[in-house]
Amino acid sequence: MNKKYIDIKLIGLTLAIIPLFFIDISIGSTNISISDIINTLFGGEQESSIATILWLIRVPKALVAILVGIALAISGLLMQALFRNPMAGPSVLGINSGASLGVAMVSLSSGIGLGINSISYLENFGIWLTVIAASTGAGIVMFIILLVAHKVNDNVALLIVGMMLGALTASLVGIAQYFSHPDQLQEYILWTFGSLGGIVYEQIVILTIFVVVGFIIALTLCRSMNLMLLGEQYAKSMGLSVQKYRILSILSASLLAGSVTGFCGPIGFVGIAAPHIARVVAKSSDHFKLLPLSAVIGALGMLICDTISHFSDSGVVIPINSITSLIGAPIVIIAMLKGRK
C-alpha cells in the first residue's frame, strides 16, 4: 500500500471530524443552525440561551465523544495485538468490570451494609465520587493484571486471569445489586448505560491527560506490535522484551479504558469496531498506520453515535451504549467480511 495513499486517507478522515463536530452540537431538543454556532463559538453575535446550550452542554459533550472514541479505539487495538485475537477489546482484562465494581460499592453501599448514604454523597460530590470509585476499582484490577503479567509469560493465561477477574467482579456487583434499595439500583443501572454528558471542562482536561499519556505509550509500542505479528519467538530474536511489551500494553490500555469508564461509564463495541474498520481502510497490518487511523475512526464513530443518541426532538437521549452496539455490531461484521475477500 502506498504510504501517500494512507496519509491522504488519514488526513481526509481527520478533517471529517470538523463537520461531524458541528453537526453533533447543532442537533438536540433545540436545533441550532450552523451559522448561529459559528457566530457563538467564534465571537460574533451571541444569544445568551444559545451560548449557554453550546458552551455548557453540547461542546463539552462533543469533545468527550472525541476523547472517548480515541481512547477506546487505541485500547482495543492494543488488546487485539497483544492477544492476537480480533474479538479482544478494552474490557478483556476486566478493567471495566473493576470500575463497575468500584461504582457499585459506592452507589449500592448502604444496601450491602457499608453504611454510606450514596445518594447524599453523590449530591455533595457529584461526578467526582463516581470517577474516584471507578478509577479505584479499575486501578486495583490493573495492579493485579500487571502483577500477573510480571510473573506469567503466557498471553493465554493472562487472558484467562482477566476473564476470571471480570467474572469475579461481576458476581460481587450482582450480590450488591440484590441487596440494594430500588433507588440505589436505578442510580447504578443508569450509570451502566454510559453517558457523555455532565462532564465539565476541568474534568475534560484530566481525561485528556489520561488519553494523551495512553496514546504516547501506545505509539512507542507500534514496532513491538509489528514484530509480534510474526510470532513471539521471532520478536524475541529481534531483541524485543516481550514481558516489557506486555506490561506497557496493559498499562496503556488500562489508562485509556479505565479513565473513560470512570468519567462516562462502560461504553462497549467502539474498541472492537474501530481497529477492524482501520484495517479495512488501510489494507495493512502495520501498526504505525493502524494506530492513528483507529484513533480517528473511533472519534468519528463516537461523534456519529452521540448525534444519533439525541436526534429526537422530544429531548429524550438514547443511552450511548445502546447506540454503539447497534451501529458497531453490523459494521464489524461487514468489515470482517470485506477483509476476508
Greater confidence, 162 or 22?
22
Question: What confidence score (pLDDT) does residue 47 get?
Answer: 63
Whole-number percent of the chain with pLDDT over 70: 89
Question: What confidence score (pLDDT) does residue 146 get?
Answer: 82
Task: Please state the domain count of the chain.
Answer: 1
Q: Is 35 exposed, middle or buried (0-12, 13-18, 19+ CB in 10 A)?
A: exposed
The most confident of 9-18, 121-130, 278-287, 327-336, by mean pLDDT: 9-18
Please report, for the domain that includes residue 326, its CATH number: 1.10.3470.10
Question: What confidence score (pLDDT) does residue 153 get?
Answer: 76
Whole-number percent of the chain with pLDDT over 90: 38
How do residues 67-101 score in pLDDT, each as one tens digit? 999 999 999 999 999 888 877 887 877 888 888 88
Cα 79 versus chain centre, distance: 13
219 pLDDT band (50/70/90 cuts)? very high
Beta-carbon contacts of 253 under 8 Å, excluding residues fewer than 6 positions away, are: 74, 75, 78, 79, 82, 90, 93, 95, 214
Helix axes 59-83, 201-220, angle to 10 degrees: 20
313 pLDDT band (50/70/90 cuts)? low
Asked whether the predicted pLDDT for residue 56 surpasses 80, the reply is: yes
Q: Does residue 17 contact residue 66 with C-beta atoms inside 8 Å?
A: yes
Average pLDDT, the chain: 85
Question: What confidence score (pLDDT) does residue 2 get?
Answer: 52
110: nearest Cα among 125, 100, 120: 120
Question: What confidence score (pLDDT) does residue 339 get?
Answer: 59
**Three-state SS for 5?**
helix
Question: What confidence score (pLDDT) does residue 123 get?
Answer: 44
At 296, the amino acid letter reads: V
Q: Does residue 167 contact residue 141 with C-beta atoms inside 8 Å?
A: no
Beta-carbon contacts of 53 under 8 Å, excluding residues fewer than 6 positions away, are: 28, 30, 32
Q: Does residue 34 contact residue 26 with C-beta atoms inside 8 Å?
A: yes
Asked whether the predicted pLDDT for residue 261 surpasses 60, the reply is: yes
Question: What confidence score (pLDDT) does residue 109 get?
Answer: 65
Which residue, chain included where needed, has cell 506486555?
A: 246
C-alpha angle 236-241-246 in degrees, rounded to nearest 5: 110
Within 13 Å and on the Cβ side, how many CA atoms surround 80?
24
Greater confidence, 152 or 299?
299
User: Which domain range does residue 203 map to?
Assistant: 3-81+88-340
How do residues 104-150 score in pLDDT, each as one tens digit? 888 776 544 444 444 444 444 456 777 888 888 888 888 888 888 87
Question: What confidence score (pLDDT) does residue 341 get?
Answer: 58
Most distant pair of Cα atoms in the chain: their distance: 64
State the distance between the two ends of the chain, measured CA to CA, in whole angstroms: 16
Question: What confidence score (pLDDT) does residue 111 get?
Answer: 47
Question: What confidence score (pLDDT) does residue 222 get?
Answer: 95
46 pLDDT band (50/70/90 cuts)? low
